[in-house]
Structure 1
Amino acid sequence: MGRAVAAEGEDRRRHIVISARRAGSVDVTAIAADLGVSKETVRRDLSTLERRGLVRRTHGGAYPVESTRFETPLAFRTGMHAAEKARIAAAAAELLRDAETVFIDEGYTPQLIAEALPDDRPLIVITASLAAAQVLATRPRCTVLLLGGRVRGRTMATVDRWAAQMLSEFVIDLAYVGANGISREHGLTTPDPTVSEVKRQAMRSSRRRVFSGEYSKFGAVSFCRFADARAFDTIVTDTRLPQREARRYALLGPEVLRV
């Protein structure tokens, strides 16, 4: 009897994970109606899935945690937390200051940072992101260096040792770095080792480093660790990250901006 109940529970939790990955999130009320169980049962399932590192709980639901087996494509990310990402990108771009050479990471928020960079001054931009390169290449005062390597279709960015090796030849004033997750215990993580290699080299090659990401990244942990939160000068996120949590990250060293 116990095994039958356990199997039913595992089937239910598998359905929740699949639904969250397909839609980007799940709502407790909706998933309870879909499964024909109580909302309390769904909440317990979400707690179990969160302990396993498969979802992150939110008020009234959950969203999937990216892993080596699951990662949201770039096209999907453009519609998620769009207003917050735009504010974060604008604030991050203001941190350019006197930098003349800049690294732009792969991902949608770094792409928005590229769009927000000023076009009234000479700038050399090194990037793995085809989208960021396309945004900046037409600017007359901007020189774009696109890292070579295998193009990763999910994020439309170059990865692998070729990209990391080319990046190792530069000394960069400022790096805008993203991640799939950031935590005080495990640092900054991403699901793919080839992506992690490029990010790790960007950290080594830069004098100043800025992490930009919406609140949902905080506390999330993926497969490949590439940096510690202490390695960043500034962390830019949105106001949904609680002030008390922002202070905990600030105690590690970075300035934390909530916008």
Structure 2
Amino acid sequence: MYAPERQQEILRLAHERGRVDVPSLAAEFQVTPETVRRDLKALDRSGLVRRVHGGAIPAGRLDFEPDLSERESSATEEKDRIAQAAVEELPSEGSVLLDAGSTTARLAAAIPVEADLTVVTHALPLAARLADHPGIDLHVVGGRVRHRTRAAVDAWALRTLAEINADVLFLATNAFSLDGGLTTPDLAEAAVKRALIAAAGGTSPGGWGKVVLLADSTKFGRTHFARFGDLSHVDLLITDTGLSPDDARAIERQGTHVRRV
């Protein structure tokens, strides 16, 4: 089978199954994983599929949401650098909101032992990391727990967050873009993120807190189903050097400072 024929068949399978992975395709077409990766790269460049960790999904599918374990295993070096840079944004004392996410989880693990902070999170994995931290006064937001993110959503979570004024929010996102803003596949997750931004004053003129977005560069230029904010709601974006200087300048023109690490 020639490469164009194989790529056409891969595209058909992606639409039929909703997702394809490299090992299965390699076995199905009796080619090497590297050959499959080249096929997926070619399809991605043509705008026909979107590369995700370990495989691809059809282009334009805005509801795709990888599992937490999959997100934790992607762009690991970049996320580690982002988390280390985020430590510098922790206040010397005061209150911190931590959104659910693989990069914010790395930040939670990197918080210094001597930190004296009040931390609020709706994410069970982050709460577990911080539960034994000696200097942290930990508050866990309740609600229905989504299996994909292990985070609390819906009315209980929203009511609690409405009662909070935080000094710093470390925000996560599935995608961000100049025109599409901040987006995620799930409406309930988007509502909580919107409440987190409001709790840090990110939607208020001259808000009292600081909103720090932690997002690796692979998320830039993408759009998901549920929009929960604009880049103008973000004071600081910490990302990796995969985001080009031109794109960083375009984001800064919207009022968001960008740090590439």
Q: TM-score, normalised by structure 1?
A: 0.81
Contact 1:209 1:231 in 2 (8 A): yes
Match of 2:67 among 63, 73, 84: 73
- 2:42 counterpart residue number: 43
CA distance in 1, matches of 2:192, 2:239: 22
Compared CA separation, residues 75 and 100, structure 1 to 2 (3 A): same
- 2:238 counterpart residue number: 236
Structure 1 residue 69: deviation in Å? 4.0
CA distance in 1, matches of 2:183, 2:43: 27
Compared CA separation, residues 255 and 33, structure 1 to 2 (3 A): closer
The DSSP-based 3-state class of the residue aligned with 1:96 is coil
Match of 2:13 among 3, 11, 15: 15
CA distance in 1, matches of 2:136, 2:148: 27
Compared CA separation, residues 241 and 45, structure 1 to 2 (3 A): closer
Match of 1:151 among 145, 148, 152: 145
Structure 1 residue 71: deviation in Å? 1.1
Contact 1:196 1:225 in 2 (8 A): yes
The yes-or-no answer on 1:121 pairing with 2:118 is: no
Match of 2:99 among 71, 95, 105: 105
CA distance in 2, matches of 1:129, 1:228: 22
- 1:130 counterpart residue number: 124
- 2:50 counterpart residue number: 55
1:179-225 per-residue CA deviation (whole Å, 9 max, x = no partner) reads 10000001000000010010000000101100011110000100000
Structure 1 residue 143: deviation in Å? 1.1
- 1:3 counterpart residue number: none
Compared CA separation, residues 138 and 91, structure 1 to 2 (3 A): same
1:160-197 per-residue CA deviation (whole Å, 9 max, x = no partner) reads 12111111111011000011000000100000001001
Which protein has the bigger helix share?
Answer: 1
Code of the aligned partner of 1:22: D
Match of 2:223 among 221, 224, 227: 221
Structure 1 residues without counterparts, runs of 5 or longer: 1-7
The yes-or-no answer on 1:83 pairing with 2:77 is: yes
- 2:176 counterpart residue number: 182
Compared CA separation, residues 204 and 19, structure 1 to 2 (3 A): closer
Q: TM-score, normalised by structure 2?
A: 0.81
Structure 1 residue 31: deviation in Å? 8.2
Code of the aligned partner of 1:14: R
- 2:257 counterpart residue number: 255
Deviates more, 1:101-110 or 1:114-123: 114-123
Compared CA separation, residues 66 and 109, structure 1 to 2 (3 A): farther
